[in-house]
Structure 1
Amino acid sequence: MMRKKHFNCRDSQSVHTLLNGKHQEHVLFYQPYTSDQELMIVLQTPVMKSNMENYAKQLVFVDTTHCVNQYSFPLFTLVVRDDHGRGVPVAYAIVSNESQKTLETVLGIVCEHFPTSPRAFMVDKDFAEINALQKVFPESAILLCWYHVLQAVNRWLSKSESGVHGLSNTQKRNEIISFFGKLKACTSEEDFKATSAEFCQTFKQNPYWPHVV
C-alpha cells in the first residue's frame, strides 16, 4: 500500500522528486546517495527556523533515532526548549552514515542558519557527534545527557574488566553510582571539581581503584 504512494519505483528517484517538488523550500541541503557519496538531507520549515531564532541561543539538544527506514538510516533532530518548557525541533537531518566527516558537513549547513553559536549542546556519548560539534561550534560547550552517562557507567561496571562486576561487588558498584549522583547534583563547576576530587580520594584507597578511574 505504501509503495503505491511513491513517486517512482526507485526510492532514490522518489526522494529526489519529493525534495525538488513542493517541499523544496524546506530543504537546506540535499546530497543524493550514490556509490561515491553519502546521502545527506537537511530539512527546516519556517516554523523551525523561527524557533531556532528565538530559542537556540542557550541550549540545543541533539537526538539520534536509528533505523527510521528500511535502509537503517539514522535521523538527527536538533531540539530546543520553548517558553512553555516543551521540546520543539529546529532542524532534521537524514544521513546514510554517522561518520564525523558526514556529521561535520550536516552541522556546517545548519550552523549557517543559527543566529549565534548556542551556549551549549546536549548529546549522548557518541564521540563522532561530539567531535563534529566541537569542530563546527568551537565556542559552544558540550554537555552529556545524564541518562547516557549513567547507562555507560552501569554497563562498564557490569563488565569483568571493571574489577567490580558480579554479586560479590554489588555494594562497591552502588557506592560508585552514589557518587555519580552527587556529581549530578552539583550546581557549579567548582562544586563538581571538589566532588570529583572527593570521589578520587574515596576510591583511591580501594584495591579495585585502577579499574574504576
Structure 2
Amino acid sequence: MVGFRVCLLDATYKTTKYDIPLFFLVVRANECYLVVGIFFIQVENTASIKEALDIFKAQNPDWNPVSWVTDFSEPEIWAIKGTFPMSRVYLCLFHRKQAWQWWLSKKNNLDVPGDSEQILKLWEEIVESPSEEQFLTAKQNLQSHELLTRNSGALDYFNKQWLSVSESWVKAYEDKENFFSNVTTTNGVESLNKSVKHFFLDILQI
C-alpha cells in the first residue's frame, strides 16, 4: 500500500441483517477501485476505527497517504487524523450534496420550503470557490443573503455543520498537486459494497 497516495474509507453499516460495522480500505487504481483491507468493529467510534487503522499502519510502516476521502463521519475523520496526522481528509462530494438535499427537503427545517432549490445553489456556489479569498467573500455574502435570513435554521445548520469543516470540501483548499480530481467520492466503492451485502453476507450461516 506504500505507493498509494489517496485512500478511501467506506463503511457498510445498517444495510444488512448484521448490525456490525464493516469497513473497506480502498485505493484507486488505473481503471478501478481496489479493496486493500477490510475490518469489522463492534462499536463505530473513533477508538475502534483508529485501532484497526493502527494495525494496518504497523504492518505497512512506510504507508503515509497524502489524502483520504470519506463520508462525513466524525469517528472516521478523527481516527484517520489520529493514525495519519499528516494526511488531508476530504469529504465525499456525492454524500455531502446528498446530505444537503436531505436536510433541505425535511419537513419543518425551512421556514419557506419553496426556497430549497435556491439555497442548495447558493451552497454549491461556495463549494466551487477557486481561491480562499473568493470563498471568504462568498461565505460573507451568504450570511446576509435574503434566502438565509428568512430561513434562519438553514443558516445555522450550514454554519455549524459544514462551514466549520470547509477545508474538507471547498475547492479552494484542495491539494491540487497530490489530490486526484477523479477521487472525490466514495461512490466507486458501491459495487464492492453490493457484492458483500447481497452475496457474501447472504450466504453466511451465523
TM-score (normalised: structure 1): 0.62
- Counterparts of residues 41-80 of structure 1 (less than 5 Å): 52-55=1-4, 57=5, 59-66=6-13, 70-80=17-27
Work out whether 1:145 is the aligned partner of 2:92: yes
**Cα pair 1:183 1:196 within 8 Å, conserved:** yes
**Cα pair 2:22 2:39 within 8 Å, conserved:** yes
Deviations, residues 125-156 of structure 1 (Å, cap 9, x unaligned): 11211121222222211111112212221222
Q: Distance in 1 between matches of 2:17 and 2:102?
A: 29
Work out whether 1:184 is the aligned partner of 2:131: no
The alignment covers a number of residue pairs equal to 155
**Cα pair 1:123 1:130 within 8 Å, conserved:** yes
Q: Indicate the structure whose relative CO is greater, using CA pairs within 8 Å and at least 6 residues apart.
A: 2
Structure 1 or 2, whichever has the larger Rg, is 1
Work out whether 1:119 is the aligned partner of 2:66: yes
Give the secondary-structure state (helix, strand or coil) at the position aligned to 2:2: helix
Structure 1, unaligned runs of 5 or more: 1-51
Q: 1:129 aligns with which of 52, 55, 76?
A: 76
Q: 1:92 to 1:207 in 2, by over 3 A?
A: same
In structure 2, give the amino acid aligned to 1:111. K
Work out whether 1:104 is the aligned partner of 2:50: yes
More strand by share: 1
Q: Percent identity?
A: 24
More helix by share: 2
Q: Distance in 2 between matches of 1:141 and 1:109?
A: 20
**Cα pair 1:78 1:91 within 8 Å, conserved:** yes
Deviations, residues 45-85 of structure 1 (Å, cap 9, x unaligned): xxxxxxx1222x2x211111125875332221111112x24
Corresponding residue number in structure 2 for 1:29: none
Give the secondary-structure state (helix, strand or coil) at the position aligned to 1:162: coil
**Cα pair 2:149 2:155 within 8 Å, conserved:** no
Give the secondary-structure state (helix, strand or coil) at the position aligned to 1:54: coil
Structure 2, unaligned runs of 5 or more: 157-206
Taking only aligned residues, the RMSD between alpha carbons, in angstroms, comes to 2.6
In structure 1, give the amino acid aligned to 2:79. A
Q: 1:177 to 1:69 in 2, by over 3 A?
A: closer
Residue 210 of structure 1: how far off its partner (Å):
4.9
Q: 1:203 to 1:64 in 2, by over 3 A?
A: farther
In structure 1, give the amino acid aligned to 2:106. K
Q: Distance in 1 between matches of 2:110 and 2:83?
A: 38
Q: 1:90 aligns with which of 27, 36, 49?
A: 36
